[in-house]
């Protein structure tokens, strides 16, 4: 089953903090929005709405993991 990788699901312990940071912290909001846009793009590819090569999909997935790691570190530190 293909699903989106929502940060609130992956990091439920930070759900409230993410909401506050999206409103109050422009840097966090940009990271969050970049992650969300990338996740949406990957979802469209995985559901064949926007087909592409496996290499492109894999590179996008790697980028998503990097952004998610940055977000997690930011959440822990702030």
Convert the pLDDT of each residue in 38-72 to its tens digit.
999 999 999 989 989 999 999 999 999 999 999 99
Q: How high is the mean pLDDT of the chain?
A: 95
User: What CA–CA distances, in Å, run from 35 to 1, 6?
Assistant: 21, 9
Task: Return the domain boundaries, the chain.
Answer: 13-77
pLDDT of 25: 97
pTM (2 d.p.) = 0.90
Say if residues 20 and 28 touch (Cβ distance below 8 Å).
Answer: no
């Amino acid at each position: 089953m293909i699903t989106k990788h929502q940060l609130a699901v992956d990091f439920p312990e930070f759900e409230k903090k993410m909401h506050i940071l999206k409103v109050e912290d422009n840097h966090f909001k940009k990271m969050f929005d970049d992650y969300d846009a990338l996740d949406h793009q990957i979802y469209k590819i995985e559901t064949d709405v926007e087909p592409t090569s496996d290499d492109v999909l894999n590179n996008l997935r790697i980028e998503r993991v990097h952004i998610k790691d940055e977000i997690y570190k930011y959440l822990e530190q702030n």
